[in-house]
């Protein structure tokens, strides 16, 4: 297939001025864009007057409407569930929090903005306008879309999870919901708590899977609507697999098995189709008619594509688009069912992303919307992948970002930026406003996917269990020393910084390697491991308690030994602590206790506390102030 002509031409940019920090703190103007099944409308999540709304655009004239949630609410997710009807969920800043928290409600609206309706949730059935009919009943539960029904535009499948269930989770139900009236009919009840559902291409719910209280993934299958659930996979038996989707014929199911496997429905045999070569999948790409898969996305470092069906029209088109945008990450976000139109997302490490419309009849790709139009990719820094061997020979991957215009610079001040999680989370080759803000002010940034990180293979993630302050921390130290050995980093100007687990690693690195780092920044971090068992939202359920036992261990002496708050006598680095006063995951007591311990020792340190912020700052003004104070701290300690 020949290369597709672009509608827009790039203009030469003048010499760039320093990018304002407010530009890195701003939320994306457009986060997600999807085209309707008929290919005549777009739906997009957009920021309007400081709130996330649902924008509906008629492609013929590019005119549309904004669907604005009720006062205090913002759109969180959306999806086309019929040719001209969209389902969406909303969130609210509950309890004074800055970050919107999902209310669990499901709404629907027509493509032209008419017939808006609360379909499901605790407000369902309320009269919000003269055009609404009281049909749905209020329900104190959370709803999630399972799938649209291609042959039934009046209904969709949703999963519902009651609020009055045990702290260990809810027994969910799969329901068929009327997209106009909101009435429901149960089609399946989950065989265990905390499960998700998967339907086949005919709209029959066939799989339920999730982690039980023992933190082992279990997969259940049923042959049809009337059949009983049977457990077909149990991680306790040594194999962790998850169903992704049915194939076109309906006789096999694509599974995530660390790579990609295909499960034969009749024989129950699981065959490996793609092994991954050490990198786990990040996505299975669906055909435009949503009946099968044609490719696998993975990220050993930069995003990679493996075609499962080289003869698929979608495969040829995607390859052509990758040639059209060399060096970029190109994906389809959605398409019309006939495949004649598709929304394409093009992004990179220096580009937050732009959406384009592919039109098969015109054989063209036209620009639609930019996620962060104020960000100029030519002013941003490149994230260069690297790999090296840790002290025990384990192969590790990461990214090194030098300041813009200093691709070959040496002896730079370096910020070691440690990701949170830590399990199953990873640093990626993608635009990161934190990294770009640091690089824009002259700092090199090092990110490493230490053992325990996701995205490689299950054994790599499990290798991080019980290794807080142990091998996971050593991996970060080894990466830092690697950057120094490469000549990139000035060994006298190193600072370690991170959020959540990364905040823990920042302080633990400073006390475990007191002569390595000149400064440390703990952002909504954990500093006392024993408190993990009594404070925050994780230990409030049996599931969470068992998870902590699995990943942290129960040896109290070891937990004390690996808690940075107990080793402040070893601390030499300058300290900055950043806390969210409404953080439920890592409650502020973690930062407050460390803050008070430093005060008692008369250790000068920076303290940034925002009462209304949660587990990571969200408000744009707060985040801009965050960047200013972090950079001022870095300038004083390892700066230019």
Give the C-alpha distances (Å, rounded to integers) separating 136 from 104, 279, 316: 15, 45, 45
Give the C-alpha distances (Å, rounded to integers) separating 2 from 295, 319, 322, 397, 440: 20, 10, 12, 35, 38
pLDDT tens-place string over residues 93-123: 765 556 777 889 999 999 999 999 999 998 8
User: Do residues 187 and 155 touch, judged by C-beta distance below 8 A?
Assistant: no
C-alpha count within 13 angstroms, C-beta hemisphere, residue 104? 16
pLDDT tens-place string over residues 466-514: 999 999 999 999 999 999 999 999 999 999 999 999 999 999 999 999 9
pLDDT of 539 reads: 81
For residues 383 and 302, what is the distance between their CA atoms, to the nearest angstrom?
10
pLDDT of 244 reads: 97
User: Do residues 476 and 505 touch, judged by C-beta distance below 8 A?
Assistant: yes
User: Do residues 342 and 368 touch, judged by C-beta distance below 8 A?
Assistant: no
- Which distant-in-sequence residues (6+ apart) come within 8 Å of 3 by Cβ? 320, 323, 324
For residues 430 and 348, what is the distance between their CA atoms, to the nearest angstrom?
5
pLDDT of 521 reads: 98
pLDDT of 46 reads: 93
Confidence of residue 361 (pLDDT cuts 50, 70, 90): very high
pLDDT of 498 reads: 97
pLDDT of 134 reads: 46
Rg (C-alpha) for the chain, rounded Å, is 25
- Which distant-in-sequence residues (6+ apart) come within 8 Å of 621 by Cβ? 25
Block residue for tokens 């000549």: 487
Confidence of residue 166 (pLDDT cuts 50, 70, 90): low
pLDDT tens-place string over residues 385-402: 999 999 999 999 999 999
What SS3 state is found at 546?
Answer: helix
User: Do residues 612 and 581 touch, judged by C-beta distance below 8 A?
Assistant: yes
The phi-psi region of residue 558 (left if phi > 0; otherwise alpha if psi is between -120 and 50; otherwise beta) is alpha
For residues 622 and 25, what is the distance between their CA atoms, to the nearest angstrom?
8
pLDDT of 126 reads: 62
pLDDT of 5 reads: 35
- Mean local confidence (pLDDT), 353-370: 95
Query: Percent of the chain at pLDDT above 70?
Result: 94
In CATH terms, is domain 380-638 a member of 3.20.140.10?
no
Tokens standing for residue 472: 């996971």
Confidence of residue 517 (pLDDT cuts 50, 70, 90): very high
Give the C-alpha distances (Å, rounded to integers) separating 207 from 105, 143, 232, 251: 24, 18, 10, 14
For residues 115 and 596, what is the distance between their CA atoms, to the nearest angstrom?
55
Element holding 297 (H helix, E strand): strand 293-298
pLDDT of 588 reads: 94
pLDDT of 221 reads: 98
pLDDT of 640 reads: 67
- Mean local confidence (pLDDT), 337-349: 96
In the chain, how long is the greatest CA-to-CA distance? 72
pLDDT of 426 reads: 92
pLDDT tens-place string over residues 58-92: 999 989 999 998 887 899 999 999 999 999 999 88
Confidence of residue 3 (pLDDT cuts 50, 70, 90): very low
CA dihedral over 272, 277, 281, 283, signed as positive or negative: negative
> φ, ψ for residue 261 (rounded to 5)?
-120, 160
- Mean local confidence (pLDDT), 330-336: 96
pLDDT tens-place string over residues 115-127: 999 999 988 876 5
Tokens standing for residue 54: 């649902």
- Mean local confidence (pLDDT), 363-381: 96
Confidence of residue 168 (pLDDT cuts 50, 70, 90): low
Kindly write down the DSSP assignment for every residue of 385-450, as one continuous string. EEEEE-TTS-EEEEEEEPPTT-TT--SEEEEEEE-S--TT----SS--HHHHHHHHTT-EEEEEE-
The phi-psi region of residue 610 (left if phi > 0; otherwise alpha if psi is between -120 and 50; otherwise beta) is beta
User: Do residues 396 and 473 touch, judged by C-beta distance below 8 A?
Assistant: no
**How many other C-beta atoms are found inside a 10 Å radius of the C-beta of residue 276?**
20
pLDDT of 153 reads: 95
């Amino acid at each position: 297939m020949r290369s597709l002509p672009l509608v827009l031409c790039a203009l030469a940019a003048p010499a760039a001025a320093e990018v304002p920090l407010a530009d890195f703190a701003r939320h994306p103007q457009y986060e997600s864009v999807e085209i309707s099944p008929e290919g005549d409308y777009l739906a997009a999540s957009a920021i309007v007057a400081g709130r996330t709304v649902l924008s509906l655009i008629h492609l013929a004239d590019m005119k549309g409407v904004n669907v604005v949630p009720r006062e205090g609410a913002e759109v969180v997710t959306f999806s086309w569930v019929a040719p001209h009807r969209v389902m969406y969920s909303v969130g609210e800043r509950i309890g004074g929090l800055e970050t919107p928290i999902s209310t669990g409600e499901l709404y629907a609206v027509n493509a032209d903005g008419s017939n808006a309706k609360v379909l499901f949730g605790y407000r369902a059935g309320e009269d919000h306008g003269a055009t609404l009919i009281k049909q749905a009943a209020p329900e104190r539960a959370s709803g999630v879309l399972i799938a649209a029904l291609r042959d039934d535009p009046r209904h969709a499948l949703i999963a519902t999870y009651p609020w009055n269930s045990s702290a260990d989770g809810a027994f969910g139900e799969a329901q068929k919901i009327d997209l106009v009236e909101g009435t429901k009919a149960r089609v399946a009840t989950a065989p265990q708590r905390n499960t998700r559902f998967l339907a086949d291409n005919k709209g029959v719910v066939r799989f339920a899977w999730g982690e039980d209280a023992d933190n082992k993934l279990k997969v259940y299958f049923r042959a049809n609507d009337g059949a009983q659930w049977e457990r077909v996979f149990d991680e306790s038996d040594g194999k962790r697999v998850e169903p992704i989707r049915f194939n076109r014929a309906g006789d096999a199911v694509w599974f995530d098995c660390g790579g990609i496997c295909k499960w034969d429905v009749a024989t129950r045999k699981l065959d490996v189709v793609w092994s991954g070569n050490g990198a786990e999948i990040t996505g299975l790409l669906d055909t435009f008619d949503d009946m099968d898969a044609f490719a696998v996305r993975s990220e050993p470092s930069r995003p990679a594509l493996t075609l499962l069906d080289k003869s698929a029209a979608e495969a040829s088109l995607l390859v052509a688009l990758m040639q059209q945008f060399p060096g970029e990450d190109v994906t389809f976000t959605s398409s019309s069912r006939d495949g004649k139109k598709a929304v394409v997302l093009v992004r990179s490490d220096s580009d937050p992303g732009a959406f384009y419309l592919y039109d098969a009849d015109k054989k063209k790709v036209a620009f639609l919307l930019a996620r962060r139009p104020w960000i100029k990719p030519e002013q941003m820094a490149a994230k260069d992948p690297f790999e090296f061997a840790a002290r025990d020979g384990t192969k590790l991957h990461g990214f090194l970002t030098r300041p813009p215009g200093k691709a070959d610079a040496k002896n730079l001040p370096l910020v070691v930026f440690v990701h949170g999680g830590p399990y199953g989370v990873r640093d990626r080759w993608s635009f990161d406003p934190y990294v770009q803000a640091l690089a824009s002010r002259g700092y090199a940034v090092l990110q490493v996917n230490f053992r325990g990180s996701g995205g490689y293979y299950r054994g790599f993630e499990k290798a991080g269990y019980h290794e807080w302050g142990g091998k996971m921390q050593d991996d970060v130290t080894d990466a830092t020393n690697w950057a120094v050995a490469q000549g990139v980093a000035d060994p006298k100007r190193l600072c370690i910084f991170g959020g959540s687990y990364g905040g823990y690693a920042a302080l633990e690195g400073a006390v475990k390697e007191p002569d390595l780092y000149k400064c440390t920044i703990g952002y909504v971090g954990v500093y006392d491991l024993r408190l993990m068992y009594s404070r925050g939202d994780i230990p409030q359920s049996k599931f969470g308690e068992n998870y902590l036992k699995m990943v942290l261990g129960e040896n109290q002496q070891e937990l004390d030994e690996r808690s940075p708050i107990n080793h402040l006598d070893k601390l030499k680095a300058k300290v900055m602590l950043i806390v969210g006063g409404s953080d439920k995951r890592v409650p502020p007591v973690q930062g407050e206790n460390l803050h008070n311990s430093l005060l008692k020792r008369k250790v000068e340190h920076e303290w940034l506390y925002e009462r209304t912020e949660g587990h990571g700052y969200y408000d744009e003004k707060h985040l801009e102030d965050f960047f200013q104070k972090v950079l001022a701290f870095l300038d004083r300690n390892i700066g230019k």
